[in-house]
Amino acid sequence: MASILEQARERVRATGARVTGARVKVLAVLMQADEALTHTDAQRRLEQGDAHELLDRVTLYRVLEWLVEAGLAHRVSGPDRVWRFSAHGDGHGAHEGHGPQHGHFKCRRCERMFCMKASPRLARTVRGMLPDGFAGDEVELTVLGLCADCTGTATAEPAHAHAHGAHP
């Protein structure tokens, strides 16, 4: 199995864009995370990683935005209105099933946000609810409640393995 850096490099290369160390390392950080990361979270992980990568805040933000524009990551606004970034899935591992049209679950107690599995039915259902003449092209859905950890029903393999937000 290829290393996370090799996987990230291949995913950046597949976009046809220039492969830079910053893009590869930031994508690798997002791919390794089991939750979406704020700009600050990503910076800390880069600084603490094996490479001790130091990117200035502006460069990091530009790389995160590029990853979103390139379709390699998505962002969601957390309860604190801070963007959180997460790698898009490629069919393998923790990010599987989290395509661009998916909803999120926000736990009212711990404030974490979790990706829900992508569903083509979600977009169709919401489009069917639009008033006549409206043309929606993107769906953002957030379900509010308590996560398995907060209800005490967590299992060894949580169904919400891809969280957005700070841990309690």
Interval 101-146: pLDDT, tens: 677 788 888 877 777 777 778 778 888 899 999 988 777 778 889 9
Three-class HEC string of the chain: CCCHHHHHHHHHHHCCCCCCHHHHHHHHHHHHCCEEECHHHHHHHHHHCCCCCCCCHHHHHHHHHHHHHCCCEEEEECCCCCEEEEECCCCCHHHCCCCCCCCEEEECCCCCEEECCCCHHHHHHHHHHCCCCCCCCCCCCEEEECCHHHHCCCCCCCCCCCEECCCC
**pTM exceeds 0.85, yes or no:** no
Interval 148-166: pLDDT, tens: 889 987 654 444 444 444 4
Interval 9-52: pLDDT, tens: 999 999 999 999 999 999 999 999 877 788 998 999 998 866 55
pLDDT (mean) for 58-68: 96
